[in-house]
Amino acid sequence: MKKWMSITILSCLLFLTACAATDTNKLTIPELSDREKQILETAANTAFVFDYTADQNYKKVTLWVEKYEKGKKVAEPISELSTPMPGESTKGSIVLTVTQTLEEELLFSASVSDDKGAASVSNQEELKTLKDMATLFNTNPQEGLLLSDNMLLAGIIYTSTADGSPTSTLSSDFYEQKEGYLDELKEYDVVYVLRASFEK
C-alpha cells in the first residue's frame, strides 16, 4: 500500500514537471529530480516516466502491457488503463512501475495524470521462474515521439541467467517497428512491452 501511495504522489509531482513541456502532440522522457528518482527507487524495482502534450483533438489515452513468451504473444494484456482526455490542449504524465513481490509475482502499476485529475490501475502477474532470471529494460530511444494510436514506449525483459543467454535490451529497430520487429522477442524467455494509444 505504501508503494502504491508513493507512486500516486510521484504522479502528481511529475504532472507539475510536465507543465513546463512545450512540444505539442509529442511524448518525451523528462529529466527527473533526485527526489523523484528516490521515490521511484523506493516504490518499485523498475519504473518508466513519460510526459506528453496534446491538443484539443485528442479524446482518449490508453496504456496497456503485452506479454510475450519466447516471442509468442499472450492473448490478453497484462494490464490496461484507458481514460478520456479533456478535449482541450493539455499536458500530462504517464508512469508505469513494476515491483517484484516475495511470492514471485510482479505488480504492474500504471497512471495517467493531467490538470483535470489522474487515473490508475494495478495488476499482479505470476512469474514462477522469476528468481532464476536476469532483468533487462529500456525505453524507446527516439526523442519527441509524435502521439499516435500504436506507440511502443518501453520493454522489460526477463531471461535466463544461463551461459549464452542474450544480455542486450530491445533494439532501436524494434522501437521503430520495422518489418519483422517482433521476431526479436524470440530471443528472450519473457518480455513485457508497454504500449500507448492517443486517439482523436
> From CA 116, how far away is CA 86, in angstroms rounded?
7
Predicted local distance difference test score (pLDDT) of residue 166: 72
pLDDT one-digit tens code per residue, 25-76: 999 999 999 999 888 888 899 999 999 999 999 999 999 999 999 999 998 8
**Percent of the chain predicted with pLDDT > 90:** 66
pLDDT one-digit tens code per residue, 83-109: 999 889 999 999 999 998 887 899 999
pLDDT one-digit tens code per residue, 162-187: 766 777 899 999 999 999 999 999 99
Predicted local distance difference test score (pLDDT) of residue 161: 78
Across 14-18, 39-43, 144-148, 157-161, which has the greatest mean pLDDT? Answer: 144-148
Whole-prediction pTM value?
0.86
How big, in percent rounded to 5, are the helix, strand and coil portions of the chain? 20, 45, 35
- Closest Cα to residue 70, out of 195, 194, 193, 184? 184
Answer positive or negative: Cα dihedral of 54, 92, 112, 191. Answer: positive
